[in-house]
């Protein structure tokens, strides 16, 4: 074999890849390389917290994925393609999910592993450096900064009060004992800068020389010899290279990890054979079980200049920029998402919310950037436990082709029911005093949409990605024919190959997926050390 060799190769420098690199570099003396398809995270818009909407709007640092036609339209499905992966372009909201999410993971592996809430809660605490909370739910010694907003703008203050008038409790900490209620958002920022996984975990290890980071390297397939991973094929520009390793970790995310497996001959036999890819391991679950949180926006114009409509455009943006550069302060120093609500529309007192709703103090055509001059609020509601399942499939045998992504948004009647109920709840919230005093008119879906049938059609038309794809290489018990990895996240039937990223979640977490992905990566890294290096 000629080519570079490392003890451990990690494919992808996103939420999971950075955590694995950090943990293995601290707890072993092995040589470690991280291969990343995207560039270094040098773009200043990555590090200014409010910059992500500009990056996404201009398709910078992202894979330009689209879905297949879902409910009549293709939808943008961008994912981070840069050092830090999703954590360099995401909205930084820090959410852990509910205990029952991890009960479901534990049920998926049964006696074969420990993915219990107690274990995962301890893992979250180890990773966290919280600026406010320090108790049985929060840590202050970890590498990952978690902050409350420095200030909550008036429109969001009104949203918080209106949700309480509607019947929710004020909950200072949705990552504490209960998720339910209306709360300030906790974010991965650090004194006015984005706290990406690359900043928190990877760069210190690369800077110290402990980890080799190779950027602009697209892994096209895993090299497998006698049912054991021995390295990867890489495209570097137009050049092909092979890099060898004793252990290969796929952390390429929920779209690319199953894609790479399939190009390597690991996946559903019929699909691989249809493209002439020799089958090494027939694993039916690769690329199946894709699910994501569907966003359903409800938007209304408000009186005056409340919120960030003006601050994020034109002269307002310039002023925000100057304030940020001089004092690391103002709207650009935060993600612009300051408050959130969690509830169950069927039972407002439930401790197991089924809906999450960020209160975004802007009106936007693309869901990110303010559009137009009228101020307003957009309630970004999501179904926390969608039951729809979709797929990631190969388009052809060419590893550089875009995959076929079918998230099947609102494909299950439960998702439609919760989506409609969420819109009705938000309309009631907007009728409460603290918002009614300032709302001028509902803009989306608009007054014409009233019956359940009309609301259902609206939900299907608008529901799109919250950028939380998971589940396409799910973990499960030996007797689960759809499991791709076992409880230690080793690929079934292949030695020295693990998948560690959001794709292994058997069921999505009730909340944003960055923090759970980092926690699962740390937990899996401990198992790697115990299995291979102790």
Ligand X SMILES: Cc1cc2nc3c(=O)[nH]c(=O)nc-3n(C[C@H](O)[C@H](O)[C@H](O)COP(=O)(O)OP(=O)(O)OC[C@H]3O[C@@H](n4cnc5c(N)ncnc54)[C@H](O)[C@@H]3O)c2cc1C
Please select the residue that binds ligand X; options are 33, 46, 50, 91, rule is CB under 6 A.
91
Please select the residue that binds ligand X; options are 24, 38, 50, 289, rule is CB under 6 A.
38
* Residues 25/173, Cβ–Cβ less than 8 Å: no
With respect to ligand X, which residue has the nearer C-beta, 10 or 435? 10
* Distance of closest approach, residue 236 Cβ to ligand X, in angstroms: 11
Question: Judged by CB under 6 A, does residue 525 bind ligand X?
Answer: no
Query: Which among 168, 188, 160, 164 is positioned nearest to 359, based on CA atoms?
Result: 160
* Residues 93/358, Cβ–Cβ less than 8 Å: yes
* C-alpha gyration radius of the chain: 22
* Distance of closest approach, residue 438 Cβ to ligand X, in angstroms: 26
Tokens for 202, please give them: 């990877």
Distances (CA, A) of 244 to 52, 157, 265, 309, 337: 35, 54, 18, 51, 43
Question: Judged by CB under 6 A, does residue 92 bind ligand X?
Answer: yes
Question: Judged by CB under 6 A, does residue 101 bind ligand X?
Answer: no
Task: Pick out residues in 125-154 that bind ligand X (CB under 6 A).
Answer: none
x/- string (CB under 6 A) for ligand X, residues 455-474?
------------xx------
CA torsion sign for 7, 11, 12, 15 is: negative
* Distance of closest approach, residue 232 Cβ to ligand X, in angstroms: 8
The whole-angstrom separation of Cα 381 and Cα 419 is 8
Catalytic residue among 47, 468, 498, 523: 468
With respect to ligand X, which residue has the nearer C-beta, 148 or 310? 148
* Residues 485/516, Cβ–Cβ less than 8 Å: no
Please select the residue that binds ligand X; options are 9, 45, 79, 302, rule is CB under 6 A.
79
Query: What is the DSSP pairing of strand 211-214 with strand 32-35?
Result: parallel
Distances (CA, A) of 217 to 81, 172, 242, 370, 503: 11, 43, 11, 35, 21
Please select the residue that binds ligand X; options are 14, 445, 471, 506, rule is CB under 6 A.
14
The one segment of 92-100, 147-155, 268-276, 297-305 that binds ligand X by CB under 6 A: 92-100
Please select the residue that binds ligand X; options are 375, 472, 512, 525, rule is CB under 6 A.
512
The whole-angstrom separation of Cα 386 and Cα 419 is 10
x/- string (CB under 6 A) for ligand X, residues 216-255?
-xxx-------------------------------xxxx-
With respect to ligand X, which residue has the nearer C-beta, 91 or 152? 91
Please select the residue that binds ligand X; options are 49, 86, 265, 407, rule is CB under 6 A.
86
The one segment of 425-433, 478-486, 489-497, 507-515 that binds ligand X by CB under 6 A: 507-515
Question: How many residues sit close enough to ligand X to count as binding (CB under 6 A)?
Answer: 42
Tokens for 14, please give them: 């996103």
Please select the residue that binds ligand X; options are 13, 375, 385, 464, rule is CB under 6 A.
13
* Distance of closest approach, residue 515 Cβ to ligand X, in angstroms: 5
The whole-angstrom separation of Cα 215 and Cα 128 is 27
Using CB positions, name the residue nearest to ligand X.
14
The residues near 258 (Cβ < 8 Å, ≥ 6 apart) are 267, 286, 287, 392, 472, 473, 484, 503
Task: Return the C-alpha torsion angle 314, 315, 318, 324, nearest 10.
Answer: -110
Q: Phi/psi of residue 321, each to 5°?
A: -65, -45
Please select the residue that binds ligand X; options are 10, 15, 160, 245, rule is CB under 6 A.
15
Question: Judged by CB under 6 A, does residue 36 bind ligand X?
Answer: yes
Burial class (CB in 10 A: 0-12, 13-18, 19+), 495: middle
Please select the residue that binds ligand X; options are 8, 21, 46, 93, rule is CB under 6 A.
93
Burial class (CB in 10 A: 0-12, 13-18, 19+), 123: buried
Task: Pick out residues in 357-386 that bind ligand X (CB under 6 A).
Answer: none
* Distance of closest approach, residue 406 Cβ to ligand X, in angstroms: 18
* Distance of closest approach, residue 41 Cβ to ligand X, in angstroms: 9
* Distance of closest approach, residue 329 Cβ to ligand X, in angstroms: 21
Catalytic residue check, 468: yes
The residues near 23 (Cβ < 8 Å, ≥ 6 apart) are 521, 522, 525, 526, 529
* Residues 101/124, Cβ–Cβ less than 8 Å: no
**Catalytic center residues:** 468
Q: What residues make contact with ligand X under the rule CB under 6 A?
A: 11-17, 35-38, 56, 79-81, 85-87, 89-93, 95, 217-219, 251-254, 256, 260, 467-468, 501-502, 512-515, 517
């Amino acid at each position: 074999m000629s080519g570079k060799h490392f003890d451990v190769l990690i494919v992808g420098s996103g939420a999971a890849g950075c955590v694995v690199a950090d943990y293995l570099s601290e707890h072993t003396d092995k040589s470690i390389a991280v291969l990343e398809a995207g560039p270094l995270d040098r773009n200043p818009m990555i590090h200014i917290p409010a910059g992500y909407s500009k990056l996404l709007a201009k398709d910078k640092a992202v894979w330009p994925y689209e879905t297949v036609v879902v409910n009549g339209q293709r939808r943008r499905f961008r994912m981070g393609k840069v050092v830090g992966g999703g954590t360099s372009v995401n909205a930084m909201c820090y959410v852990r999910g509910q205990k029952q999410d991890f009960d479901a993971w534990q049920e998926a592996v049964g006696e074969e592993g420990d993915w219990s809430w107690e274990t995962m809660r301890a893992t979250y605490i180890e990773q966290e450096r919280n600026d406010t909370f320090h108790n049985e739910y929060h840590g202050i010694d970890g590498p990952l900064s978690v902050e409350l907003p420095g200030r909550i703008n008036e429109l969001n203050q009104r949203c918080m009060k209106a949700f309480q008038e509607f019947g929710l409790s004020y909950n200072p900490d949705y990552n504490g004992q209960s998720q339910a209620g209306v709360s300030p958002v906790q974010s991965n920022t650090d004194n006015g800068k984005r706290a990406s996984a690359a900043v928190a975990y990877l760069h210190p290890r690369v800077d110290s020389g402990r980890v080799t980071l190779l950027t602009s390297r697209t892994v096209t397939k895993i090299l497998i010899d006698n049912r054991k991973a021995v390295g990867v094929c890489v495209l570097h520009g137009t050049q092909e290279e092979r890099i060898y390793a004793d252990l290969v970790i796929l952390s390429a995310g929920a779209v690319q990890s199953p894609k790479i497996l399939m190009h390597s001959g690991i996946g559903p036999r019929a699909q691989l054979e249809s493209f002439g890819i020799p089958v090494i391991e027939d694993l039916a679950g690769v690329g199946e079980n894709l699910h994501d949180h569907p966003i359903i926006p409800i938007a209304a114009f408000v009186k005056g200049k409340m919120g960030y409509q003006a601050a994020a455009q034109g002269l307002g943006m310039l002023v925000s920029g100057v304030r940020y550069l001089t004092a690391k302060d103002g709207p650009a120093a935060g993600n612009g998402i300051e408050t959130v609500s969690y509830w169950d529309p069927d039972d407002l007192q439930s401790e197991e919310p089924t809906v999450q709703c960020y209160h975004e103090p802007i009106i936007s055509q693309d869901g990110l950037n303010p559009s137009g001059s009228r101020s307003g609020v957009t309630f970004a509601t999501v179904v926390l436990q969608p039951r729809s399942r979709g797929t990631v499939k190969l388009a052809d045998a060419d590893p550089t082709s875009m995959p076929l992504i079918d998230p099947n948004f609102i494909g299950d009647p439960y998702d439609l029911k919760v989506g409609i109920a969420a819109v009705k709840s938000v309309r009631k919230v907007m009728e409460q005093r603290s918002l009614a005093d300032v709302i001028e008119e509902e803009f989306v879906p608009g007054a014409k949409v009233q019956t359940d049938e009309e609301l259902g059609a609206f939900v299907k038309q608008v529901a799109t990605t919250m950028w939380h794809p998971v589940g396409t290489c799910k973990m499960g018990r030996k007797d689960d024919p759809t499991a791709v990895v076992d409880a230690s996240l080793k690929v079934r039937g292949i030695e020295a190959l693990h998948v560690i990223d959001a794709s292994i979640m058997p069921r999505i977490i009730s909340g944003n997926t960055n923090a759970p992905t980092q926690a699962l990566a740390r937990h899996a890294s401990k198992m790697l050390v115990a299995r291979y290096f102790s």
